[in-house]
Structure 1
């Protein structure tokens, strides 16, 4: 009883401290014409994730922690969503807020907060954000998509909401996880569907009716220009089953301004029938949404989360049609040494593809990982037009964990399975090769590979899995692993140059205590003299021997002696 009372008092004290905590307000105002250093998950329209910075192999060891920002959401267990970095400001998303922070000091210019939904797989708030510079009399914009399929467009200088709109077609399921890209006055927005999570609640055989989209929206008015549907509308097929469905657009589109082409990656179908553009790279005319070409990497892939449920609740799943090998990583536009424009794409099947940007023909492909439902290649690659840098996780999990229905949470049948609190069933794929790789973009030849390991809390050593997107700047590659460690490698030969463990308690510059955890999704974010790291992720399980688990911290590093 005494222990219970003490715990209660400490908890109330902690909550009181959180509520009383106040971020330091900035005294200056935001320059509406500030230089943009890095924008969107892909950093730019081509999704190269190549940061323009002063960081190189000679000074990366001089990175020092400037401050940590802790998510102000009282129930935040993740720090996901790419920030935007300008010369003056870090625009940072949290679960239910967008915060404008001074890049040098961490003081707060403004905070925009929404009420987050409470659906079973939704309610994770902002995951995708972009910055639109001021154009003539039009103000600079911060654009954010949320887990309920709505766009929020704010004045970047003041944080004032200019407009908000649902831009999907299915309010029950559509969600935005892809960064909206700005092109010729329009926002190109990828749309995914959370019906992959809710199929079980519909007793599976009712699955599924929703599908992915790419929507072109006027950035200043919210008027929808055109919509590309990744499948035809679902029809009742037999009993309660519907289709076609799925083929979500999880990742950020890439845009080639010269040819007015937008490239998207798609996911799998959720149930039968199978379509020809699931698990594909699709080229569309950015002006009207018409298809130019489709390259399908994995055929016959049908997978809802309910596939992780025991028989008979797994419904339409079969061992031959449950790969979950979508393109979660954003496609990259690059140019080879010989002058060929290519699309570089990495799939959760563990394979990297180089495609001709004009016609979608395969130039080369290279298998790096074994492939699994969390990658393979999960969130993203990076290129400096010489080499392509690839993170491989080769981690799989029973995704039923995401539903928190413990009685239906069955571990994967793998003797090497690593389980921990809220992380049941996570394991390395058979013959998995997690690590960081560099390829020659001309021909796909392997140039170097690194396979770090870490010691878990049980005292044993495990391979470190790299699910988060990698990033490159000058001659340095940054890669963050699921166990919460960010490493820097020399781009020419893979030599390790710097390492930092983010999975630890922190005190936020905004007066809130928190902690770091798993590094996933965004990975390293680089610009100017800064390295930014989101730390904390629990979408697919908590702490175990492979991952550090929940967290709510954004680390901001800078080169020593600079501001």
Structure 2
């Protein structure tokens, strides 16, 4: 089934080989040997630049094959194929290093943004004390520094701020610890594949093992993150030294996109894959089941594993050409779990079905027991025809037509109303947002339509909520007027205000230059920050939706580390606000959007 493919794809993940020819022979030659009309031969590719080949493996036609390669391995393949060296270094940290890195402060004593959201409730709300920034000073924000990600076409990871440091992953697998104020490089770490997750910092618990003893007397804090090859890492937050590494799932097409969440000694890691859209020719689709794995934060050992699809996949049909169809499959969890300590539960948004019979938890919100991993309940928001996106109508796993792709790609937010009642607020790619009752198995309290919805539409990566309102950005890239930001009363789901998207700041409107607001949003007292596909990050007044600040990232930037960098489309991470500064990445070079590779830091 998938085992042979997995062995082939994972061989290159065993280290950092410099032998580009060996990598090409094992990973690429089967298609690029001159006998496959779909793939150019090695001789035909000799005229291309090595950077163009790196880009193809990063965000181009070979991006799914490149997901299983580290940044160094992509470079090795590119240099072998082109016969020339790639400019610069894979880490991009030859210059810009801190002369003497300041010690890592207590991550919990000063301003911080730890993980995907400042709190485990995933509201993306930063209070005034932690933000260090008031609404009246936002119009005075100015660019303080820029940092470039080498060999990248997307700035897809959201930074973490803790202990005076900024921690961020990158598309080529380099994880950075920077000084949060100056941007100088304290350390780098090489992961086995690209790192899209946020990094979460935790205090290292007592450990008498020989390996752990090597870290005593250092920071006492651990940084946790995951990569696009299915690995979860724990490294010393002060030095970047690896403590442990674990494979979260052995499926050959696993990718870890949602950020892990740390709570009471356990690390909760959401599981997703690119089996739906990135399967190779002849692949037996589909066999991946999404879910969450709970790891012991000290050792990395598995505590429990929960699946969003209870039934293991089985063979559905074998075709005469030798290909097989398996199912049920799908139900990826693309975003960070939300922790509810009072109810002993975590909540996740669940993606669509890949194959097989419709499943009760897909395209929905599920509650999972924190201690045991048992699925307590699931509330599906697309109970109609099965949502198998990107399939060919008439196929066994497709039905009469391809599904609308109405995933819940954004983390649910656990909010508390002024009367003490708690709700789960979740936004869907259908363009509809919901408030659910956690005490009634997710029973709907209210719903609000923010957009029309589509595969790249509706609410994509994240919402925000303060004490009174929820804020829903809309993508809807295929509509006549993509974008827009909605403010909705938490109590009853009624609209407080709506701000339509401004004219694209990037120039002529098109797929890569539009007002679509894919990215997650952030709220501080008085202000909502929202990045846009047009390359602008904007600040909106929470009172009436007026835009009070705009920064255009569509240009080249002089960077602290000397890496050539520019901004582009913005898709995924939210702006991070902590200690009087605002941090945001720019660039997203897939799905026809505009590439970029820069992290920007602002302060008044």
TM-score, scaled relative to structure 1: 0.83
Instruction: Return the offset for 1:106.
Output: 1.0
Partner of 1:81: 157
1:37 partner SS: coil
* Cα distance change, pair 135–493 in 1 and its aligned pair in 2 (3 A): farther
Partner of 1:380: 462
Indicate which of 188, 202, 227 corresponds to 2:282: 202
Indicate which of 333, 350, 355 corresponds to 1:271: 355
Kept in 2, the 8 Å contact 1:453–1:463? The answer is: no
Indicate which of 154, 157, 165 corresponds to 2:235: 154
Partner of 1:242: 326
Indicate which of 135, 149, 155 corresponds to 1:57: 135
Would you tell me which structure has more strand in proportion to its own residues? 1
Instruction: Return the offset for 1:507.
Output: 1.5
Kept in 2, the 8 Å contact 1:514–1:551? The answer is: yes
Kept in 2, the 8 Å contact 1:302–1:323? The answer is: no
Kept in 1, the 8 Å contact 2:325–2:397? The answer is: no
Partner of 1:496: 547
Partner of 2:598: 553
Instruction: Return the offset for 1:349.
Output: 0.3
CA distance in 2, matches of 1:324, 1:152: 31
CA distance in 2, matches of 1:286, 1:523: 27
CA distance in 1, matches of 2:341, 2:487: 27
Instruction: Return the offset for 1:494.
Output: 0.6
Indicate which of 532, 535, 545 corresponds to 1:484: 535
Kept in 2, the 8 Å contact 1:87–1:528? The answer is: no
Cα RMSD of the aligned pairs, angstroms, is 2.6
Kept in 2, the 8 Å contact 1:301–1:321? The answer is: no
* Cα distance change, pair 16–153 in 1 and its aligned pair in 2 (3 A): closer
Q: Does 1:323 align with 2:404?
A: yes
Partner of 2:145: 67
Partner of 1:218: 296
Partner of 2:254: 174
Q: Deviations over 1:149-188 (max 9, x none)?
A: 1101101011110001102142x02221111101110001
* Cα distance change, pair 212–24 in 1 and its aligned pair in 2 (3 A): same
TM-score, scaled relative to structure 2: 0.78
Partner of 1:530: 581
Kept in 2, the 8 Å contact 1:128–1:177? The answer is: no
Kept in 1, the 8 Å contact 2:387–2:402? The answer is: yes
Count of aligned pairs: 499
* Cα distance change, pair 80–236 in 1 and its aligned pair in 2 (3 A): same
1:478 partner SS: strand
Indicate which of 132, 143, 148 corresponds to 2:202: 132
Kept in 1, the 8 Å contact 2:160–2:198? The answer is: no
Instruction: Return the offset for 1:449.
Output: 0.7
- Which 5+ residue runs of structure 1 have no aligned equivalent? 1-6, 117-123, 396-427, 543-548
Indicate which of 254, 266, 284 corresponds to 1:186: 266
* Cα distance change, pair 237–455 in 1 and its aligned pair in 2 (3 A): closer
* Cα distance change, pair 529–144 in 1 and its aligned pair in 2 (3 A): same
Partner of 2:487: 438
Indicate which of 407, 427, 452 corresponds to 1:370: 452
Partner of 1:334: 415
CA distance in 1, matches of 2:182, 2:192: 28
Kept in 2, the 8 Å contact 1:268–1:301? The answer is: no
Q: Deviations over 1:482-507 (max 9, x none)?
A: 11100001101111100001121112
Kept in 1, the 8 Å contact 2:459–2:475? The answer is: yes
Instruction: Return the offset for 1:367.
Output: 0.8
CA distance in 1, matches of 2:509, 2:335: 35
Indicate which of 429, 438, 456 corresponds to 1:357: 438
* Cα distance change, pair 17–94 in 1 and its aligned pair in 2 (3 A): closer
Instruction: Return the offset for 1:302.
Output: 4.3
